[in-house]
Amino acid sequence: MSLPVSKPLSGGGEGEPSHLEIRSIAGGSLVRVRLTPKASANAFNGIAEGALRLRIQSPPVDGAANAKAREFLAKALGISRGAVSLERGAASRDKVFRIEGLAPDDLRARLLRLLG
C-alpha cells in the first residue's frame, strides 16, 4: 500500500531527508513535524527547517488533527498507533512526536522510503 506524498516545491539543503531532525530517546525516537490541518488530503509534504511536513484533512479542533496525524504516522511507518504519541506542540503547528520501538536510523530509513 502506498501513502500520498506531495513533493516539496524546492529541493536540496534543508529539504533533504538527511536534514530531518530525529533525536534518540530510551526505547525510540523523537521527530519534529510541521502540521498543516484542513488539507485536501492526508499526505507527507517533504521536509522544511528540519521538520517533517505533514498535511492532514482534519481541522485543528479538539485535537482532531493531532489524532489524525498520529494515526497517519503510525500507518505510514507500519507500527501500532500506541507506538506514536504527541510529545510537544498540542496547540501548535510545530510538533514533536515520540516514536516507540524505532531507533533514529530506522525511522530515517522508513521516512526516506516514504518521501521517495
Residue with more model confidence, 112 or 88: 88
Task: Write down the pLDDT at residue 18.
Answer: 53
What does the block give as the cell for 88?
Answer: 510537544
| 94, β-bridge pairs | 34
Distances in Å between the Cα of 1 and the Cα atoms of 28, 75, 81 are: 25, 10, 17
- At 26-84, the pLDDT tens digits run 999 999 999 999 999 999 999 999 999 999 999 999 999 999 999 999 999 999 999 99
Domain 18-115 belongs to what architecture?
Answer: 2-Layer Sandwich (3.30)
Structural domain boundaries of the chain?
18-115
Query: 23, 108 in Cβ contact below 8 A?
Result: no
- Cα separation, 26 vs 50, whole angstroms: 21
